[in-house]
Structures are given as C-alpha cells and as structure tokens.
Amino acid sequence: MSRTGRVFSLLLVVALIMSVFALGGCATEQPAEEPTGEGTTTPASEIKLIEPGKLLVGSDTAFPPFESMNGDVAEGFDVDLMNAIGEKLGLKVEFKTEIFDTLISTLQAGGKFDVIASGMTIKPDRQELIDFTDPYYDSNQSIAMKKGSTYTGPEDLAGKKIGVQSGTTGEAWAKESIKDAQLVPFKNATDAFAALAAGNVDAVVNDLPVTTELLKQDDRGLEIVAQIPTGEQYGFGVSKDNPGLTAAINKALAELKADGTYAEIYKKWFGIEPPAE
C-alpha cells in the first residue's frame, strides 16, 4: 500500500470508530418514551420538577374567576385547567400564592414553583425572561369607576388617580394611554377596587373578565365604564431552562381542547362556550 493509501485507510478506521460513538451517544440522549400518567407519552426525563411527582404552581390567587382562595383551597379557571393538565401528566398540582409582580423573578430564581398560572398575558418583554405555553384564554382591559361617572375616552382621566395592579398589562396601558395619570399601584386587584370604593382613586384599569367578576355581586356602587380591546392572550409561564415542561403542558392542553375538557372548564367559570379557535 502506498503511503497515501495507508493514511487513507487509517483515516477511514478513525472515522468508522467515531461514527459508532456518535450513534451510541445519540441513542443514550434519546429520552425513553415512558408513560408518565394516563393517556400521555411525554418523556418524563425531560421535565424538571422541584418536587418529584408534583407540579408547583405560582399564582396571585386574588384574581377571580381565574384564581381565588376558598378558605385555604385555590379555585378558578386556571386552577381547574392546571389540575386537568396535572392529571394528564400524572402529576399532583399544588398552588402557591405569590404577589403578581414577583412571579416572573421568583420563577427565574427557581426552587419555589415550576409554572406560573396567574391570568398572565403573553408579551414580548416577558418572553425575554421566561417561556410561555400556547395561549389558553383571550382577554381585554376595562376601566371601572363609581356609578354615574362620565367616561368618553382616556382624555377624561387625564391627571386623575388611576388604581392598577403592580406589574400588570393594565398598569402598562394606563401609563401609555392616560395623559399625566397618577398611577396608584396595588399588590392585587381586589385592593385596587377597595380603594376605588373608598374614593382614594378615580378609576381602576384591570383585566375585563376579572373586573366583571369582581363587580358582579358588589354593592359598593362601581361599574365598568369602558372595555378596552387590547387583544391579550393568557399563557402559563415556564422557566427557559425547562422546555420539556412547556412542551408537556402544550401537549396536555391540546388534548384537553380536543377531548372537550377545556370547554367544560370554560363553561363552568364563564357560563359560555369558549370562542372557536
């Protein structure tokens, strides 16, 4: 064999050995498709959880009908949906109450909860920090004032005291759309409405479905004076380090939409069929 021939065959052997290793490596990286619960084949190995077998959920549980506390039990649309997702994934679901404004940083820090379910709007600045699942609810903003107030447009609120929940899209809308607004941030929506009833703020900007729910059985003389079509979509928040969990929740969500469970939960909390996709 010529010298080039020998070098060539040596290279060939090296290449062969390397490809065998590469294949072997591939095979072990492939997660085992073991069922993690009823009716799902999501690979368990890809989902990172703080506590094995448990999905810990961070939420500001003062946001009905999405999440609120009934004694020490969380209830609402997000809670039922998250429980149904947990069932699909073979995981026990546990809600942990957190202030809305600190949900994202707490999720990023890790160790407290695996997912955010808190009527959280998917938006680009948040997507830089965390991942969101597919959207699960379409929402808009609203303005509430004392009954009998006149409201023809945001200019009527110029320079007025506007109650908002800290860190929300309602706060962002008020900041952008109301000239010289004196924003008064509250840690939750219910506190903002208490301030409105007490006359400490002139208006409250908050997600429409929640304001509708909060004012439903309210005798403090408050009303929705405007609906603001912001076209928001809620998603569940997951750490960027946990794409397996995002994928698993998306898969479960799609299954729940297909099998009618999503529609059932939607009707339970909103009294109407979910909008067509």
Interface positions with ligand ARG (CB under 6 A): 60, 63, 67, 100, 118-121, 165, 168-169, 188-189, 207, 232
The least CB distance from residue 67 to ligand ARG, in Å, is 6
**CA dihedral of 225, 236, 124, 102, whole degrees rounded to 10:** 80
**Is 42 or 118 the residue whose CB approaches ligand ARG more closely?**
118
Shorter beta-carbon distance to ligand ARG: residue 86 or 237: 237
Dmax over CA atoms of the chain, in Å, equals 100
Minimum gap (Å) between residue 102 Cβ and ligand ARG: 11
Please report how close the Cβ of residue 237 comes to ligand ARG at its closest, in angstroms: 10
E strands, 98-172, are 115-116, 131-132, 137-146, 161-165
Nearer to ligand ARG, 83 or 118 (CB): 118
CB of 183 to ligand ARG, least distance (A): 14
Q: Minimum CB separation from ligand ARG for residue 27, in Å?
A: 43
Gap between the Cα atoms of 236 and 114, Å rounded: 10
Nearest to 47 by CA among 61, 59, 36: 36
* Least Å from the CB of residue 31 to ligand ARG: 32
Smallest distance, ligand ARG to C-beta of residue 35, A = 33
Nearer to ligand ARG, 55 or 189 (CB): 189
Tell me the backbone φ, ψ of residue 210, rounded to 5 degrees: -80, -45
149, amino acid identity: S
The SS3 assignment for 241 reads: coil
* Nearer residue to ligand ARG within complex by CB, 121 or 239: 121
**DSSP state for residue 272 in the 8-state scheme:** S
Residue 40 or 97: the one with the smaller Cβ distance to ligand ARG is: 97
- Residue appearing with tokens 């909060």: 214
| The amino acid at 229 | P
- How many H helices and E strands in the chain? 9, 13
Q: Give SS3 for 152.
A: coil
Integer Rg of the chain from CA:
25
Give the three-state DSSP class for 159: coil
Element at 79 (helix H, strand E): helix 77-89
Whether the bond into 124 is cis, omega within 30 of 0: no
The minimum distance between CB 70 and ligand ARG, in angstroms, equals 15
Please, which residue, 11 or 129, has the CB nearer to ligand ARG?
Answer: 129
Nearer to ligand ARG, 44 or 193 (CB): 193
